[in-house]
């Protein structure tokens, strides 16, 4: 997988990644969340533990705590999204923040305004946190370089580079069902090459000491030298799924593919799609995950997606709690502080 692509800053475009250390304040507190890279196992565990305290809010009559009261969070989505944007919005609102959603299709960027000019104008509205999704790798890093010192940036997915909160909610889901990562075999199946989710998942799984991380897919959809990422590659799904504890299916990233990488979606399903027969090769209590949106009949059969071992909808639910945890840690608040107010 490639690092964020470089481009001309004069045009207000991404210009490569920030050093991982720049995600933190000089005091060592999390300021931005741009990538899993550079986080410590202790911080990831703290995020997951904090999310655990928020999960129970779903059963409460009043699903709010005042941890972000007085803060303004702006969702800045340059790519279409349903689950990610909605869960970020719900997370911010449940923390009592004021939330703004910018419709990029009608914004000034469509009229020719640069990303940097758009950022400066939005920042003039005294926003405290930007949640950014962009088709260009490095866009969230670029914005983080140029925001005011009091502003934080959360990467909701940038190009093929990273999707850190998706990886964190996936780790939260795995931990809830499986506990100790060191004993687990986890398989990520499908379009690894174009997936920002896969990149962040692999980093998070290795950070948490997962016993074995496997990637399964055709050679054309696996990065060159993929072993360097700390994974074991398989091109045969039956061999790759043998005895695994967690199966993470990925969507085919058609919008990021060059032509010729796949003969057809039908053939992909025949060779690498997850059906009940292939699921039976995994451990008897294996769980099935998918970051969504799932293409039924392309990467996963409906009987598996809706079956007893699927935790796909749980991932969506846990996404709210995990994003609440990240936001609360960034502003330096604690759940106990919120409960006391």
**3-class DSSP state of 38:** coil
Query: Is 111 a residue of the active site?
Result: yes
**Catalytic entry in 84, 118, 165, 210:** 84
Instruction: Please say whether the dihedral angle defined by the alpha carbons of residues 43, 250, 84 and 91, taken in this order, is positive or negative.
Output: negative
Query: Is 111 annotated as ligand-binding?
Result: yes
The candidate with the shortest Cα–Cα distance to 223, out of 167, 160, 168, 268, is 160
Query: Is 94 a residue of the active site?
Result: no
For 28, the enclosing helix (H) or strand (E) is: none
Query: Is 196 annotated as ligand-binding?
Result: yes
**Catalytic entry in 61, 106, 111, 225:** 111
Query: Is 293 annotated as ligand-binding?
Result: yes
CA distance 51 to 71: 20
**Catalytic entry in 160, 163, 175, 199:** 163
Token digits of residue 226? 């993929």
CA distance 299 to 290: 10
Query: Is 175 annotated as ligand-binding?
Result: no
For 233, the enclosing helix (H) or strand (E) is: strand 232-234
**Catalytic entry in 31, 32, 71, 133:** 133
Query: Is 83 annotated as ligand-binding?
Result: yes
Query: Is 146 a residue of the active site?
Result: no
Q: Going by C-beta distance under 8 Å and a sequence separation of 6 or more, which residues neighbour residue 253?
A: 160, 191, 194, 195
Query: Is 239 a residue of the active site?
Result: no
**Catalytic entry in 83, 120, 232, 309:** 83
Strand (E) positions, 250-341? 287-289
158 and 4 Cβ atoms separated by less than 8 Å: yes
Query: Is 84 a residue of the active site?
Result: yes
CA distance 250 to 197: 8
For 81, the enclosing helix (H) or strand (E) is: none
CA distance 281 to 270: 16
Q: Strand 98-103: give its sheet, edge to edge.
A: 98-103, 72-77, 129-134, 152-158
Query: Is 84 annotated as ligand-binding?
Result: yes
The candidate with the shortest Cα–Cα distance to 177, out of 245, 83, 248, is 245
Query: Is 163 annotated as ligand-binding?
Result: yes
User: Binding site residues for carbamoyl phosphate, as ranges?
Assistant: 83-84, 133, 163, 166, 292-293
User: Binding site residues for L-aspartate, as ranges?
Assistant: 111, 196, 251
User: Binding site residues, as ranges?
Assistant: 83-84, 111, 133, 163, 166, 196, 251, 292-293
Q: Which residues are catalytic?
A: 83-84, 111, 133, 163
């Amino acid at each position: 997988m490639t690092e964020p692509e470089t481009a001309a800053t004069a045009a207000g475009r991404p210009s490569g990644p920030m050093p991982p250390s720049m995600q933190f304040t000089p005091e060592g507190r999390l300021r931005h969340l741009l990538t899993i890279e550079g986080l410590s196992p202790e911080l990831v565990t703290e995020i997951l533990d904090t999310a655990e305290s928020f999960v129970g809010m779903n059963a409460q009559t009043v699903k709010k705590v005042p941890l972000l009261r007085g803060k303004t969070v702006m969702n800045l989505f340059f790519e279409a999204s349903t689950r990610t944007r909605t869960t970020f919005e719900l997370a911010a609102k449940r923390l009592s923040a004021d939330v703004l959603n910018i419709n990029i299709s009608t914004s000034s960027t469509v009229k020719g305004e640069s990303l940097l000019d758009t950022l400066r104008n939005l920042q003039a509205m005294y926003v405290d946190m930007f949640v950014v999704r962009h088709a260009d790798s490095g866009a969230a890093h670029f914005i983080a370089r140029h925001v005011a010192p009091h502003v934080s940036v959360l990467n909701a997915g940038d190009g093929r580079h990273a999707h850190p909160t998706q990886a964190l909610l996936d780790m939260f889901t795995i931990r809830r069902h499986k506990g100790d990562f060191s004993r687990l075999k986890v398989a990520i199946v499908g379009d690894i090459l174009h997936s920002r989710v896969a990149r962040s998942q692999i980093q998070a799984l290795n950070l948490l000491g997962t016993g074995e991380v496997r990637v399964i897919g055709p050679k054309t959809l696996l990065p060159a030298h993929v072993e360097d990422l700390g994974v074991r590659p398989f091109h045969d799904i039956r061999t790759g799924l043998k005895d695994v504890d967690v199966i993470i299916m990925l969507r085919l990233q058609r919008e990021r593919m060059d032509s010729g990488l796949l003969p057809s979606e039908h053939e992909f399903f025949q060779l690498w799609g997850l059906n009940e027969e292939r699921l039976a090769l995994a451990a008897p209590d294996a769980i099935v995950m998918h970051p969504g949106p799932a293409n039924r009949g392309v990467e996963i059969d409906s009987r598996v997606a809706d079956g007893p071992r699927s935790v796909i909808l749980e991932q969506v639910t846990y996404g709210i709690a995990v994003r609440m945890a990240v936001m609360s840690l960034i502003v330096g608040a604690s759940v106990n502080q919120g409960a006391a107010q």
